[in-house]
Chains A and B, each alone.
Chain A
Amino acid sequence: MQDNYGFLGLYLLIAIAFPFVALGVAYLLRPKRPDPVKSSTYECGLETVGETWVQFKAQYYLYALVFVVFDVETVFLYPWAVAYNRLGLFALVEALIFVGILVAGLAYAWRKGALRWM
């Protein structure tokens, strides 16, 4: 087990080195001729109007909230799924109740229109 994570650690180091090597090689090879028009914001030839970094649609935030609920749920369910064959009927009922509460949450969000794109 220890070996596995040692290998992954080594892999991580090499994986981190990889983009630096690739970008470094490109840095040596590529031309560098910046000019003000070239490095202006690309919006199909028109000059950009107004700020880009503005407050954005709150709709995305609602999806993110529902997502967090379900993602945390699955973290709890993975150990349950692995040990499922060794657990009794109790585990099934328990998980059903657990997911049932979350589905009630999803149904509530659905009813409230959080899942409707506006």
Chain B
Amino acid sequence: MQVLDDLWIRIAVWFRGLLESFLPPWAVQLTMDVLGILLLIVLGIVVVLAFTYMERKVIARVGDRIGPNRAGPFGIFQAIADAIKMLTKEDVTPTNADRWLFLAAPIVVIIPAVLLYAVLPFGRGMVGVDLNIAVVFVVAMGGIPILTMLMAGWASNNKYALLGAFRTVAQLISYEVPMVVALLTVVLLAGTMSTVGIVEAQASFPFALVTPVAFVVYMLAGLAELNRTPFDLLEADSEIVAGYFIEYSGMKFAMFFLAEYINLFMVAGMITTLFLAGWQWPILPSWLWFLIKVVVVIFLMMWIRATFPRFRIDQMLGFAWKALVPVSLVNLFLVALVAKVLEPGWARTGVLFVSNLALLAGAIAIMAQVARKREERARAAGEAAIKRYYGSEVR
């Protein structure tokens, strides 16, 4: 098992030794760094191909269909066929568009997405760079795509695209706040912003058990940041066709698509790292544990996509500001208070778990109450309107 656990690191060490036999030290370091980065980027693309295939299969199965099954056995080459298709498609730039901004948006959107992999710990000792401000780095890089979506929507000079872009900005900045506060809770518990440090802090308890509220909030905000159902109203097909990337085709569209799926993997990876103890847990090699957890989280997201209908924009924004932000702030101080009173251990985890569940139940109860009242009010208003229209002796 130990051999399997260290497999990739051993290969890296062996390769380094090979390079050292004929290269000066600085060149060895440079080559290793460049190879590592290229490996991360290639991994990013492979992951995208794998998850587009998985998504199509999962959604198809939920919808009682078969999904891709023509290209290769079980259609596993479908994703590769798609990639080739994207490469050879004509790239149309609308005459009305702002040409340079239109070109810049897909270039800028992919850069932060690719950069994010640098801080994701894939296994024990397998991280691009163990940055001591990794969490802030992730938040910062996650903020750049918002700008590029507005660039794309504005540059397209298309009303659907512009509507989509405005919705994107409103949604993403709204869900950024609860997301960041949920991250803050984890940072507070771990006492570090390094992703490796956070994983190591979860040796005894994964943070999903310590603070379920932060986990749920981060999961929901993550879905919103990814523009996935039920928060996909910025590319709602039935309303605004495709949203901000409606005018994009060929490789430029593929850049947006790639960035979206890289971010999907990244959010699932962050959920794994921050809440599910990352690569820890016994028996299986660390990198395999990481992969299993990420796939489970992504499967959960696909399941949600296949199950829930889309929000309306007022519901979506209201949910962020009136539900998630207060709940995550209350949770932050709840965790801070308990962390001050109790020492780390079973007692603290138990108290936090129970109080978090109570907070979650309370929040859901209040939301249900508000929703019920609103429904009653709407029904009363509707009945009054009918009465006004038909007179009092209706039916």
B336 interface residue per 8 A CB criterion: yes
Assess the A29–B160 pair: CB atoms within 8 A: no
A108 interface residue per 8 A CB criterion: no
**Interface residue tally for chain A (C-beta within 8 Å):** 64
Partner of B329, one of A40, A82, A103: A103
Known contacts A60-B166, A92-B337, A106-B321; is A41 also within 8 Å of B180 by CB?
no
CA distance A92 to B334 in the complex (A): 11
B297 interface residue per 8 A CB criterion: no
Assess the B193–A56 pair: CB atoms within 8 A: no
Known contacts A53-B157, A78-B135, A110-B322; is A40 also within 8 Å of B94 by CB?
yes
CA distance A31 to B332 in the complex (A): 55
CA distance A48 to B247 in the complex (A): 13
B90 interface residue per 8 A CB criterion: yes
Assess the A39–B93 pair: CB atoms within 8 A: yes
A112 interface residue per 8 A CB criterion: no
Question: In the complex, which residue of chain A has the Cβ closest to the Cβ of B163?
Answer: A56
Assess the B94–A8 pair: CB atoms within 8 A: no
A101 interface residue per 8 A CB criterion: no
| Residues 66 to 104 of chain A near chain B (Cβ within 8 Å) | 66-67, 70-71, 74, 77-78, 81-85, 89, 92, 95-96, 99, 103
Partner of B87, one of A25, A44, A74: A25
CA distance A10 to B187 in the complex (A): 27
Q: Which residues of A contact B336 (CB under 8 A)?
A: 84, 92, 95
Binary interface encoding of chain B residues 81-117 relative to chain A, with 1 for a CB under 8 A from any of its CBs, else 0: 0000011111111111000000000110011001100
B36 → A minimal CB distance (Å): 8
B33 → A minimal CB distance (Å): 6
Partner of B107, one of A23, A31, A41, A77: A23
B268 interface residue per 8 A CB criterion: no
Question: In the complex, which residue of chain A has the Cβ closest to the Cβ of B322?
Answer: A115
CA distance A18 to B113 in the complex (A): 11
Partner of B173, one of A33, A48, A64, A110: A64
| Residues 127 to 170 of chain B near chain A (Cβ within 8 Å) | 128-132, 135-136, 154, 156-160, 162, 166, 169-170
Question: In the complex, which residue of chain B has the Cβ closest to the Cβ of A68?
Answer: B173
Partner of A7, one of B33, B106, B160, B329: B33
Assess the B255–A19 pair: CB atoms within 8 A: yes
Known contacts A56-B166, A74-B180; is A15 also within 8 Å of B89 by CB?
no
Assess the B252–A23 pair: CB atoms within 8 A: yes
CA distance A92 to B95 in the complex (A): 57
Assess the A63–B174 pair: CB atoms within 8 A: yes
A20 → B minimal CB distance (Å): 7
Q: Which residues of B contact A1 (CB under 8 A)?
A: 132
Assess the B158–A60 pair: CB atoms within 8 A: no
Q: Which residues of A contact B177 (CB under 8 A)?
A: 67, 70-71, 74
Question: In the complex, which residue of chain A has the Cβ closest to the Cβ of B160?
Answer: A43
B317 interface residue per 8 A CB criterion: yes
Assess the A16–B111 pair: CB atoms within 8 A: yes
Partner of A52, one of B95, B157, B339: B157
CA distance A96 to B332 in the complex (A): 10
CA distance A18 to B166 in the complex (A): 28
Assess the B115–A12 pair: CB atoms within 8 A: yes
B8 → A minimal CB distance (Å): 18
Which one of A20, A48, A52, A95 has the highest number of Cβ atoms from chain B below 10 Å of its Cβ? A52
CA distance A106 to B237 in the complex (A): 33
Q: Which residues of A contact B154 (CB under 8 A)?
A: 53
Known contacts A19-B111, A26-B251, A38-B92; is A81 also within 8 Å of B188 by CB?
yes
CA distance A100 to B38 in the complex (A): 46
CA distance A31 to B252 in the complex (A): 14
Instruction: Give the interface of B toward A (CB within 8 A).
Output: 30, 33-34, 37-38, 40-41, 86-96, 106-107, 110-111, 114-115, 118, 128-132, 135-136, 154, 156-160, 162, 166, 169-170, 173-174, 176-177, 180-181, 184-185, 187-188, 191-193, 241, 246-247, 250-252, 254-255, 313-314, 317-318, 321-322, 325-326, 329, 332-333, 336-337, 339-340
The list of the 5 closest CB pairs from A to B, nearest first, reads: A117-B314, A26-B251, A81-B188, A67-B173, A81-B187
Q: 9 interchain pairs (CB within 8 A)?
A: A4-B131, A18-B114, A23-B255, A25-B87, A27-B91, A41-B96, A53-B157, A71-B176, A83-B191
